[in-house]
Amino acid sequence: MSFNHSMTALTTTPPPSTREFALSVIAGEFQQAALNLPPDIALMSALEIENIRNPTEIDFLLRKRLWKQVEIAKKTGETHITNRSIFAGVCSEQNFFVVLKNPHRVAWLLTHPTEDLERMKYGLSLGMKNLVEFVSKTPNEKTAGAFLKAIELLMNRVHGPVVQKVEAKHAHMKVQSPISTATPEEVIARLDELKSKLLTTKDVTPSDDNDPT
């Protein structure tokens, strides 16, 4: 397998320049294991690889060390990352060679950690979409508690400390019924109460009747 063909197969995410640079600076057995990856495995994303095998703690540490060394090399102009600089303090040289014998582990190490961040962003987006769809439906006896909790979560996120200040001002108020046992009617009443509080957020300081002013 040629050097150029292998690098082409490994350029998925992140951008090709980053992956190709990593391949150009890793050395020895690690570089050979990367260049000898079957194209179908080399083209896999981190998620696709994880559907086949779960990364171990050592895998995570090795990948973190690898990409840290790559970033250092990019900043310093270093052209050679030794295997030891990747596995030292993480695992033994013998164990590192065991990792290199597994194509899926090698391919996973070469997936940039930023791919994980993109996956989490997608998961958050999907979760928010499902949350909005959930609160758009009229609550019933089974969903009333979760509905109220979701609404209060959204209000706290959207309005931030405003709701917290209002709650502090009215701390003397009667404790509400547990949301887990709330009825749809109680949910509506609670929502009306929160809405009313939000309309009075400009005055969050308790008044003092004895104040001469």
Whether a cis peptide bond, with omega within 30° of 0, leads into 14 is yes
CB proximity list for 168: less than 8 A, separation 6 or greater: 204
pLDDT confidence tier of residue 112, bands split at 50, 70 and 90 = confident
Compute φ and ψ for 11, nearest 5 degrees: -95, 85
| Radius of gyration of the CA atoms of the chain, in A | 27
Q: Give the residue, 10 or 34, on which the prediction is more confident.
A: 34
Over 50: is that where the pLDDT of 107 sits?
A: yes
- pLDDT, average across residues 109-130: 69
Residue 35 sits in the same domain as residue 108: yes
103 and 149 in one domain?
Answer: no
Are residues 42 and 9 part of one domain?
Answer: yes
**Domain hosting residue 33, numbered range:** 3-116
Looking at the structure, tell me whether residues 153 and 98 fall in a common domain.
no
Count the domains in the chain: 2
Q: Is residue 124 part of a domain?
A: no
The verdict on 179 and 106 lying in the same domain is no
Phi, psi of 211 (to 5 degrees): -70, 120
Residue 9 located in a structural domain: yes
Task: List Cβ neighbours of 81 (8 Å cut-off, separation of 6 or more).
Answer: 25, 26, 27, 66, 69, 70, 73
**pLDDT of 175 strictly over 50:** no
Same domain, 17 and 98: yes
The SS3 of residue 130 is helix
pLDDT > 90 in the chain, percent: 34
Residue 129's pLDDT is 72
Closest-CA residue to 69 (of 89, 92, 50, 93): 89
Residue 41 has pLDDT above 70, yes or no: yes
